[in-house]
Amino acid sequence: MKMSRFVCACAAALAASTCASLTAATINGSTPYLNGANIPWNAFGTDFGGGSYSATWWNTAFANLHSGGVNAARIWLHCDGRATPTFNSNGDVTGISSTLVPNLQNMLTEAANNGIHVYLSLWSFDLFNNNHASLVTNTQYTTDYINNALIPICKGLKGYSALAAIEIINEPEWGISQTPNTTTQSCTLAQMQAFIKSLTSAIHSNLSGVNVTVGSASVKWDTANGKDGTVGDWYANLGLNHRDVHYYSWMVGSGYNYNPLASGHTPAYYGWTVPAVVGEFAAMSTTPYTSPLQMMSSANNNGFAGHMPWSYGGVDNNGDFADFEGAAETFNSTPTYVPTLRYDFEGSTISWAVESGSAALSSSTSEHYTGSDSLKVSFTSNSGSNIVGVAPSSSPAGRFITFWLWVPSQSALNGVEAYCEYGSSWTWTSGAWLSNASLAQGAWNEINLIAPAGQTIDQIGLLIEFSSSYTGSFYVDSVTY
């Protein structure tokens, strides 16, 4: 059998999911599932009330999103405070410009005309890099912002049906001293919590029917159940209507798994009693996922109330609308991806074989992801690349293939990848290469790839590569597509 020697690897822990329809989870009674996008700005910090508002730009953006099946947009307002609200020389808020509310009103009108629900983010952690920490640390300054800016904004936005949610602050963790913070200024966790709670209360008192949330950088700081290396729930009992967490590939590996897209990582898994949205994730493939559609479907399957790729305009290196437009269109028509369990290894190796390298395969009860058995892959003084796979009994062409791999600690592992082969020349296609450092040790990891559509898939499986001699066992379980 011909095999290419393409080296790579992949993983990140999770549990079997239950599927949710597009309307199964919403952030409030009148807002559908958010098949959304982060715009998040045309001109950072000056779009609204800062002199850079362009109705034409926003209308075009909303029209493009709508044509791509997107129904929601996360949009930033003050950002770091460079243009709004108005500050005095002491850094205290004295008001807002005369154009801020009209700009927002026009934007919301354009959004409504294009069927877009707006998710308005007031602040970002960037305020700590622009000398505005006192807005959070000084309670009088917080009160002045509420009275002189936030309440006038809320009153001006009453009756604008496109406004679905207000986010107090984007990724506040980077400005909190306990994180540790990455900003030039910082605040304590207690100060940030007081700031969030005060603004949330003011919004609830002055603008009904709009959800309030916080755009948390990671579930690391959003659950008190101690799972996956998380450190605590920083946003409990602050009056938030729903949760918003972000996901990027750095959030898996080395004993932690801050991944809300992982199968089974539902809002209930994190102990939340309110809906939740995945407010940011890369607009293109990111470990361990091979496409934005897979991430969208994973959020929906997990019972989240929406997802929002980053970003429409490609404001950094995480992709742009061209990278996720097709996925958004497909999701809009077929929101739920329902994988079928193909290989569970209950009492049998189910025709799996060592295709390259040296290992012994057996069915084992020592570890299992589901059921009671898994495929045990035993190595003896093994180094280099090893391939275990199977000729699939049912074609996975065009489908997401998921493998669960249990990775032992101290394994001399270099990396792992999922693969498939097709055609007379055994063309090799692989998922993301995941290094040992990106995998959870002594735990189950999810390995993914998308099999090419329109092909006869001859083999699927996993490549496991060691950097030095290794004796021990890995386990494979719950292969779905």
Question: CA 336 from chain center: how many Å?
Answer: 17
Report pLDDT digits (tens) over 128-138: 999 999 999 99
Report pLDDT digits (tens) over 191-246: 999 999 999 999 999 999 999 999 999 999 999 988 888 999 999 999 999 999 99
**pTM: predicted TM-score of the whole model, two decimal places:** 0.78
Report pLDDT digits (tens) over 81-98: 999 999 999 999 999 999
- All residues at 6 or more sequence positions from 321 whose CB lies less than 8 Å from its CB, including other chains: 37, 64, 65, 68, 283, 312, 313, 314
Q: Whose structure tokens read 């066992």?
A: 473
Q: Whose structure tokens read 């991944």?
A: 259
The DSSP symbol for 45 reads T
Reported confidence tier of residue 12, pLDDT bands at 50, 70, 90: very low
Beta bridge partners of 243: 276
What is the signed CA dihedral for 12, 243, 86, 137, rounded to 10 degrees? -80
Report pLDDT digits (tens) over 46-81: 999 999 999 999 999 999 999 999 999 999 999 999
State how far the Cα of 432 lies from the Cα of 92, in Å rounded to an integer. 48
CB burial readout 265-280, b (16+ within 10 A) else e: bbbebbebeebbbbbb
Please return the burial class of 412, using the count of CB atoms within 10 Å of its CB with bins 0-12, 13-18 and 19+: middle
φ and ψ at residue 177, rounded to 5 degrees: -65, -25
3-state DSSP assignment of residue 5: coil
Best CA proximity match to 461, nearest among 347, 380, 398, 377: 377
Beta bridge partners of 276: 243
Contact 303, 282 (CB under 8 A): no
The two most distant CA atoms of the chain are separated, in Å, by 74
The DSSP symbol for 452 reads P
Contact 295, 265 (CB under 8 A): no
